[in-house]
Structure 1
Amino acid sequence: MTDSKQRPASKALQALTAAAMSLPAYQVAAATRDETARVSVRTALYDEAELDSQQVSSTTTERYDIEIGQLRASAPVGERFSVALDVAYETMSGASPWFVQPDADGAPVQVMSGATIDDARTDLLLSVSRYSASGRRVSVSVGQSTEDDYESQNLGIEVEWEDDDKMTSYTVGGGYASDTITPTDAQTRFPSRPDEEDKQSLTLLGGVSQILGPKTVVQTALSVSYLDGYLSDPYKLVFVDDDLRQDARPDGRWTGAWTTRLRRRFSSVGATAHLDYRLYGDDWEVVSHTVSLSWYQDIGERVTVTPNLRYYSQSQAFFYRPYFRTTRDDNLYSSDYRLSPYGALTIGLAGEYRFDSLSLTGSIEQYESSGDYALGSVVTENPGLVDFTLLAVGLKYAF
């Protein structure tokens, strides 16, 4: 990897995970073991659109291209256990937003990294679950993510149980992650970059799933997280009072999220509707709303087609500006578009064709973000907002 890169958890992998985490088309049983061994593979291409040349103060307008491969294998073990392994590998190349500066008229323009990013990431997650005869599931997971300059380890535990009537289930859980970043070119080409930094995060969650009838399921969940340590982006700079400074964020962050999901089966037309809402807030003053709607339409016994629509809007962090004319007393600064106010629309289409034991899957998503899509008024849009296309194909096999 060279020069500068964005340090998110993989945006492409996040987009794929968001789709994968949605419930099956219609789910009734909660803490019940899947008695079938399964293997699935998926490959995806994530392509960010080039920036508008009029909003870029450099010759580079290209952004990320990411190729992703995913493997999941799960199987029952003995009478009470099941095991699942998730593996993801992605390669990325392109350029990343570096900092924002004002043009002659004071309008913000994006400066790109000006170097080709070439990196790879490997994610591993192993989970083991135990099921009791009373309808209780206890799952423990351990995972690791590695790349050239970043390493993360995580642990998780989740407990799920049902009422005697099998109509209500409850979930509680927690997770811990420890990350280490060793930025490239620190103290050589970019002396302001740290040599090595760490952060930790702790998450607690609780949820309830209720079967309202033979065709309707509703779920609601709350989660709280605390992140501690180095939360800045070492690869980003900020324009402050005619000078460039290192991106600087608080060393702690409390976050909370409330998620509600509705699943409704329409037997007369052979379809299932998914409606999701998520409210997020943190002590950086970022508040976001996400609404997702998917329609799983069966066509005969072997084909399911799923159009989907997702809307997202967020407010800005209290220490965010596209650029700063004066210094702040707390010395916190960021012009990262991910902390700016904006909204986004995602339109997608997925399909699945089922053989006896084999299924073929495919999907396409188009994501567009803009200050005009935000719920609140955005006075100045960040020029680094991203648009992307995500294509994925996969195979699923049941033994």
Structure 2
Amino acid sequence: MTPKSKTLKNNALMALAAAASLPLSSQAEVTPEDHIVAYRYSQYSEDDNPRERTITPETGRYDIEVHQFRHARPLGEDWYIDGQMQYETLSGASPLQTYEEDGKSVLVTSGATIDEQRFDLKVSPKRYFDEGTLGGTLAYSTENDYESIALGADGSLELFDKHTTLLASFSASYDTLSPTDIDEFPTREEFDGKNKRIVSLYQGVSQVIDKNRVIQIGAGLTHLSGYLSDPYKTFDQRPDERDQFTISTLYRHFFKVGDGAALHADYRLYADDWGVSSHTITARWAQSFNTSSVQFLVTPLVRYYRQTEADFYTLERFPAGEHFSSDSRLSAFGAITLGLDSRVQWQNWTLSLDMQYYTSDEDLGLIETSDTETPSLLTYTILSFGTEYRY
């Protein structure tokens, strides 16, 4: 699987994890007591590329099926451990290059020959103290052409009668690339064994305003180094370092509407030294409906995203210079996500059904839009079903 598809897929699946809020009288974390066994199935499907802009026969894109398993349980009085495993299969075609011809952008894709599997494993123990928490994470991922191992640590410290919480986290990963189809594309052999390293830091503070409102502000810094290009793309040569900076704000407000509701409002500012900057605004409304034995939670979601293009983004067919790429992720575009998460809880069981639709386009950038068509921008749909048992 290409680094591009891996990032898009992860980013898309992680967006389904919107949880409900309860009245917030305190942020104090206590050691969970429940044993949890859970399974989730997700189907991710990308719309075809436009036929009028695709010069190769294949217009189809990725279809992905994901199986996720989770087991979490307490260990003694103060420890809790969370284990997750994920298996996914991917098939379809990938964009190779976009370039301008006769004043129009055209797209070259691979054939529908991609058929891959991926396996992830993550273990996260956490220690609970009277005034905070300290946790760690060990993760391993392997697929046909990519291997990654990651370590992480996170902690929280509660102050001022547990109304203020300081948050911090650290993660580091080491990835190794092993491109496939070297017999068919001999130039890919030079990228075999290339490495990528990622180090991330985050610091934040969460403040209880009153029993119904909480706000959190944080800043993150990520440094990437090593091989950051995409060996599956034609004419793709990126810098070997990248610094990313984010500022995020989260606001939660509980309302006594129906059987309880919560507004989730999030904003994120992103900038990096490749020239890309972005804004993300997300709003959710988590609404509860309860009967004598069953609890329902419905959470519609809307998200708007826009970004500027990288300094070396180009649609030249034979680009010159030290760095260049026609990857649509590095172009200027905007995107809208619409989603609906639903939960049904009965005794110890929880069933979930989630849907999400994402579309991106140059014109959705609104500000600093591009006059150049980017036919490889994504439109996708995710359907997900899950079941969870607590005891």
Q: TM-score range by the shorter chain?
A: over 0.9
Residue 57 (structure 1) aligned with residue 55 (structure 2): yes
Match of 2:350 in 1: 359
Contact 2:275–2:311 under 8 Å retained in 1 = yes
How many residues align? The count is: 383
Tell me which residue corresponds to 1:318.
311
Matching residue of 2:242 = 253
The CA deviation at 1:353 is 0.8
Task: Give the C-alpha shift of residue 324 in structure 1.
Answer: 5.0
Question: Which of 27, 30, 41 is the equivalent residue of 1:29?
Answer: 27
Tell me the SS of whatever aligns to 1:14. helix
From 255, 259, 265, give the equivalent of 2:254: 265
Whether the 8 Å contact between 1:342 and 1:381 is mirrored in structure 2 is no
User: Which position in structure 2 is the counterpart of 1:175?
Assistant: 171
Q: Which residue, out of 368, 372, 375, partners 1:380?
A: 372
1:40–1:326 Cα change, 3 Å: closer
Tell me the secondary structure at the aligned position of residue 33 of structure 2.
Answer: coil
Q: What 5-or-longer segments of structure 1 have no aligned partner?
A: 239-246
SS at match of 1:131: strand
Which residue identity does 1:140 align to in structure 2?
A: G
Q: Who is 1:15 aligned against?
A: 12
2:156 and 2:212 map into 1 onto residues whose CA distance is 22
Superposition deviation, residue 101 in structure 1: 2.9
Aligned positions of 1:212-223 closer than 5 A: 212-223=209-220
On the 8 A contact 1:263/1:273 being kept in 2, the answer is yes
Q: Which of 253, 278, 298 lines up with 2:288 in the alignment?
A: 298
Amino acid at match of 1:369: S
Relative to structure 1, is the Cα distance of residues 191 and 326 closer, same or farther in structure 2, using a 3 angstrom cutoff? closer
Contact 2:179 2:188 in 1 (8 A): no
CA, structure 1 residues 352+107, in 2 after alignment: closer, same or farther (shift >3 Å)? Answer: same
Identity of aligned residues (%): 37
The question of whether the paired residues in 1 share the 8 Å contact of 2:60 and 2:112 is answered with no
User: Which residue of structure 1 aligns with residue 73 of structure 2?
Assistant: 75
Name structure 2 gaps, 5 residues minimum: none
Q: Which residue is equivalent to 1:227? A: 224
Residue 287 of structure 1: CA displacement? Answer: 0.4
Amino acid at match of 1:66: I
Cα shift at 1:14: 2.3
**1:23: Cα distance to partner?**
4.8
The equivalent residue for 2:109 is: 112
Q: 1:268 to 1:101 in 2, by over 3 A?
A: closer
- Displacement, 1:24? 3.5
- RMSD between aligned residues: 1.6
Shift of 1:326: 5.3
For residues 303-350 of structure 1, what are the alpha-carbon distances to aligned partners after superposition, in whole Å with 9 as ceiling and x for unaligned? 11111101111111111012256522xx21100011111110011111
Q: Secondary structure at the match of 2:15?
A: helix
Q: Separation in 1 of the partners of 2:303 and 2:134?
A: 32
Verify the 8 A CA contact 1:72 1:86 in the aligned structure 2. yes
Secondary structure of the residue aligned to 2:13 is helix
Question: Residue 16 of structure 1: SS of its match in structure 2?
Answer: helix
Output the amino acid matched with 1:363.
D
Q: Which amino acid aligns with 1:144?
A: Y
Q: 1:191 aligns with which of 161, 173, 187?
A: 187
Native 8 Å contact 2:215 2:251 kept in 1: yes
Q: Is the 8 A contact 1:121 1:147 kept in 2?
A: yes
Shift of 1:17: 1.4
Shift of the 122–95 alpha-carbon distance from structure 1 to 2, 3 Å rule, reads same
Deviation string, structure 1 residues 210-234 (Cα, Å, up to 9, x no partner): 1111111111111101011000000
3-state DSSP of counterpart to 1:59: coil
Deviation at 1:190, TM superposition (A): 3.1
Partners of 2:290 and 2:29 in 1: CA distance: 30
Q: CA deviation at 1:30?
A: 4.3
Instruction: Indicate if the aligned counterparts of 2:137 and 2:152 stay in contact, CA closer than 8 A.
Output: yes
Q: What secondary structure does 1:9 align onto?
A: helix
Q: In structure 2, what is the Cα distance between the partners aligned to 1:203 and 1:259?
A: 15
The answer to whether the 8 A contact 1:218-1:261 is kept is yes
Moved more, 263-272 or 183-192: 183-192
Q: Is the 8 A contact 1:31 1:160 kept in 2?
A: no
Q: Distance in 2 between matches of 1:308 and 1:340?
A: 25
Of 62-71 and 298-307, more deviation after overlay is shown by: 298-307
Question: CA contact under 8 A between 1:187 and 1:195: conserved in structure 2?
Answer: no
**1:343 corresponds to 2:334:** yes
Residues 108 and 323, structure 1, Cα contact 8 Å, conserved in 2: no
SS of the equivalent of 1:390 reads strand
Residue among 135, 140, 157 paired with 1:139: 135
Contact 2:60 2:93 in 1 (8 A): yes
Provide the secondary structure at the position in 2 that maps to 1:227.
strand
Q: Distance in 1 between matches of 2:39 and 2:87?
A: 12
Matched residue, 1:123: 120
